[in-house]
Structure 1
């Protein structure tokens, strides 16, 4: 650590597991600037900020802050994780290797999702304690490498909750709906909720959506129903957490 005064030496309070896939919430003095690996972070007027580490993030990082012209830093060391390999057979071939005629639709879907996840609002719902958004059996976990019909695919980035079609899906924390689409090629019925400062929840494979884009939703409120839409082998909710483009592990938020 380096510093130029007692005030700057006081490190921010960090909440969250220092591991790959984790969302880290921070609290510092008001009027403090904060950087992660040299990139500026948004800090609220009362000193709250947030950042996250992806599935395969480097294990060494640097948090810096500046208060009243005095700067200090803190090294952050992440724990490395091991992930499961899931082999899934019986997926329709059109979903394993999508035909050329649907590639334009897939690209359009991806643009919509990227736009919703890029939202940077002043909401502070990310500070709340998250709850699981549906009841059911945990059928898939973050980070697992899925192999469809013997063909390796990119890792899974959500927490899967298996239950019957029509099972209620509730908001895991408060926020504003930034995307509501009932028919995306891969994800079927899809919702994205902004929790503030780049933190968002994504809910996919939904059979019914009960909210609209721009709507404010409180924690525990009904937002959708579990379905089997898009690329699925059975009805379930796939819940994902992002910090901007970083894909995080929802299960870590439930362990705090």
Structure 2
């Protein structure tokens, strides 16, 4: 017969249970980048693990807590750019970027002269409007909309392309700063990504009409012009797909449409590159 097994004494030490260790985050010795690097475009990236700061052509770039960042290239960006990360030990990591050019739609109007200088009255009205716009763009939010795949705020015929420009008797006019979507007045439009309202005008501006601006975080923002109605207010947090107001023809507009423009810091960005091809408009 087997010998009885005695119970452990009350003074015996309990068996130790191993504590699972959290796996160490993978070390990134270099940048991880996802383009495209193209005029009017934005690119996402991951900074080196020990990067303390980041700059694009000498201009500071924010780094999120998880190491992700966003950079943009303006309509007239040069063919090359340099991304520099400064590490904890004082050394730097540099990456040269090749920025692809684009063929912009240029219209030569040799029989028309460029519009004359704005009147004193226009400039008087315009100054406080520009001050409001610049103050709004200076606001910083913690929105994570910049991480999302952007959607079109309205569907319809694209009646104006980003970057297009008219040349009046050899003198270039300002290029078109956004994408125009032609729809009738009163058509609703929606948030292309999460964001925070940084400007919702209570009066039509001289050029933009009723103007709404949304900050998507990391220096990326959207502006919607010529609106007939705005349904949100400054400080509101909006979610992708949320109704924001209605399309109109206020301000300097030849007909009802939604003008959607975007900026990353001081660089103008082509919304079409973020939203992709225009989907079929709903009836």
Q: What is the TM-score normalised by the length of structure 1?
A: 0.87
**Does residue 108 of the first structure (1) align with residue 128 of the second (2)?**
yes
Quote the Cα distance in structure 1 between the aligned partners of 2:106 and 2:83.
33
8 A Cα contact 1:168 1:224, kept in partner: yes
Output the CA distance in 1 between the equivalents of 2:154 and 2:116: 27
User: What does residue range 216-227 of structure 1 map to in structure 2 within 5 Å?
Assistant: 216-227=237-248
Higher strand share: 1
> Which residue of structure 1 aligns with residue 225 of structure 2?
204
Runs of 4+ in 1 over 6 A off after TM superposition: none
Q: Is the 8 A contact 2:29 2:49 kept in 1?
A: no
Question: Relative contact order: is structure 1 or structure 2 higher (C-alpha 8 Å, sep ≥ 6)?
Answer: 1
Q: 2:192 aligns with which of 160, 172, 182?
A: 172
Alignment map for 1:4-15 (pairs within 5 Å)? 10-15=29-34
Partner in structure 2 of residue 236 of structure 1: 257
Q: Unaligned 5+ residue runs, structure 2?
A: 1-25, 110-114, 278-283
Provide the aligned C-alpha RMSD in A.
2.6
1:38, CA displacement in angstroms? 2.5
Aligned 8 A contact 1:8 1:71 in 2: no
SS, match of residue 173 in structure 2:
strand
Counterpart Cα distance in 1 of 2:189 and 2:267: 23
Shift of 1:255: 3.0
Residue 162 (structure 2) aligns with: 142
Size of the aligned set, in residue pairs, is 245
For residues 42 and 60 of structure 2, what CA distance do their matches in structure 1 show?
Answer: 17
Contact conserved, 1:119 with 1:198, CA < 8 A, in 2?
no
Structure 2 residue 70 is matched with structure 1 residue 46: no
